Chain A
Amino acid sequence: MNMHPRTQEFTASVLDGPMRDESELTAHVLVRPGKSYGFFTDTTVCIGCKACEVACKEWNNLPADDIGLTGDSYDNTGALSANTWRHVNFIERSGDGGVRDNDQTPFQSGWLMMSDVCKHCHNPPCLEACPTGALFKTEFDTVVVQQDVCNGCGYCVPACPFGVVDISKIDGKAHKCTLCYDRLKGGLEPACAKSCPTDSIQFGELEVLQEKASKRLDELHARGVETAYLYGVPGSPGATGDLGHLNAFFLLTDRPEVYNLPAAPTRASNRVAPALKAGLATMLGFALAAAVLLVSGRE
């Protein structure tokens, strides 16, 4: 077993305090301001254990909500919300290769599982829509809502092409994944990635993660999983419409829509100019029509 040499520094059963740069031991990455960090979620190794959901709720002190059976496979959280920042999708496919088929394929069978999260877009539409500056880019290139600045206007909610940001009905403010901003500042790996038993969720520097993902993709293609592709890396589905790239990107084996992801997400701000022009053209049209009617009425 390959252990980091620094583990020898922490042999005592009880430690004096938090480990310095713990992420170096758990995720093999040093968290430093000024660098770009993110998640690589490899859905082909996700087992749907929901450890990420639980770890997220535990660390962020998020309450359970909508308790009851959803009737949607083993999904009991339903969707990302103000109180759920990690959501494990359970997608049961039918027909050939579906859940009831006798022959199942490796690397995700008839049952697709995928842990969804805020994508921490390179050009975040939620941040562009925020009138108070409550949403900001951190020193780790992640997107966070400042609770004391948010006025609950809700403009960020429709601006997000992934439906991630949500307004809490209790405090009236916007909430979403912070990529464990407080943990990053303390040199810790985000709670969800640390708890993932299969390393389906990997945390690290974005360039390193993209390289890892590319190698994993080549490996899967070599092993016959032709359907595998990356979602959210530059030049791939998910990184469309001027979003740049997604700091939380995915390796998928079916169409994005199957995972409740948009095939070609766009920035809401790209639609402002065309919408304004269309509005002005309509007003001009009405004004011209009114003028013509007025002149013809006088005659």
Chain B
Amino acid sequence: MTEITGVVVIVQEGRIEVMGDDGDGHLLILSPSAAAETAQLRDLEKRQARVRVTCSEVPNLVALKADRIEVLDEEATS
């Protein structure tokens, strides 16, 4: 399990692009075990929400599985 902190920049279905504080873009796929629905992700993109994502690696895929998404600030950051 790793943690990524950054801003949600793109959401497509259950796929999220988080621009991490390290300046790298991270592609994440929402895990079915996460306490979130795909319909809720669009709002995070609109607000450019700052989040902390707990994620795990997935074999044979250039993406991470988002097991937990924590919204760090409720106010829009941009």
Q: Chain A residues in contact with chain B, CB under 8 A?
A: 59-67, 83, 147-148, 152, 168, 170-173, 175, 182
Q: In the complex, A63 Cα to B15 Cα: how many Å?
A: 9
Q: Which residues of A contact B16 (CB under 8 A)?
A: 61
Q: Which residues of A contact B31 (CB under 8 A)?
A: 170-171
Stretch at the interface among B6-14, B46-54, B69-77: B6-14
Q: A148-B37, A148-B38, A170-B58 are in contact. Are A63 and B63 (CB under 8 A)?
A: yes
Verify if B62 is at the interface (C-beta below 8 Å from A): yes
Q: Chain B residues in contact with chain A, CB under 8 A?
A: 10-17, 27, 29-32, 37-39, 58, 60-63, 65
Task: Please pick, from A63, A66, A168, A172, the residue contacting B27 in the complex, using a CB distance under 8 A.
Answer: A63
- Chain A residue, CB-CB nearest to B40: A148
B62 and A64 within 8 A (CB)? yes
Q: Which residues of A contact B12 (CB under 8 A)?
A: 59-62, 182
Distance of B4 from chain A, by nearest CB (Å): 15
A148-B39, A170-B61 given; 4 more Cβ-contact pairs under 8 Å: A60-B13, A61-B12, A61-B17, A148-B37
A63 and B13 within 8 A (CB)? no
B61 and A147 within 8 A (CB)? no
Q: Which residues of A contact B63 (CB under 8 A)?
A: 63, 170
Q: A61-B10, A172-B32 are in contact. Are A66 and B60 (CB under 8 A)?
A: yes
Distance of B45 from chain A, by nearest CB (Å): 11
B13 and A67 within 8 A (CB)? no
Task: Please pick, from B27, B39, B60, B61, the residue contacting A61 in the complex, using a CB distance under 8 A.
Answer: B27
Distance of B16 from chain A, by nearest CB (Å): 8
Q: A170-B31, A171-B32 are in contact. Are A67 and B62 (CB under 8 A)?
A: yes
B17 and A171 within 8 A (CB)? no
Q: Which residues of A contact B13 (CB under 8 A)?
A: 60, 147, 175
A147 and B38 within 8 A (CB)? yes
Q: In the complex, A60 Cα to B15 Cα: how many Å?
A: 8
Q: In the complex, A170 Cα to B63 Cα: how many Å?
A: 10
A168 and B29 within 8 A (CB)? yes
B32 and A65 within 8 A (CB)? no
Q: In the complex, A62 Cα to B63 Cα: how many Å?
A: 9
Q: Which residues of B contact A175 (CB under 8 A)?
A: 13
Q: Which residues of B contact A182 (CB under 8 A)?
A: 12
Q: Which residues of A contact B14 (CB under 8 A)?
A: 147, 171, 173
A63 and B61 within 8 A (CB)? yes
Distance of A188 from chain B, by nearest CB (Å): 14
- Chain A residue, CB-CB nearest to B59: A169
Q: A147-B38, A170-B31, A171-B30 are in contact. Are A65 and B62 (CB under 8 A)?
A: yes
Distance of A82 from chain B, by nearest CB (Å): 10
Q: A60-B12, A63-B61 are in contact. Are A171 and B37 (CB under 8 A)?
A: no
Q: In the complex, A38 Cα to B69 Cα: how many Å?
A: 37
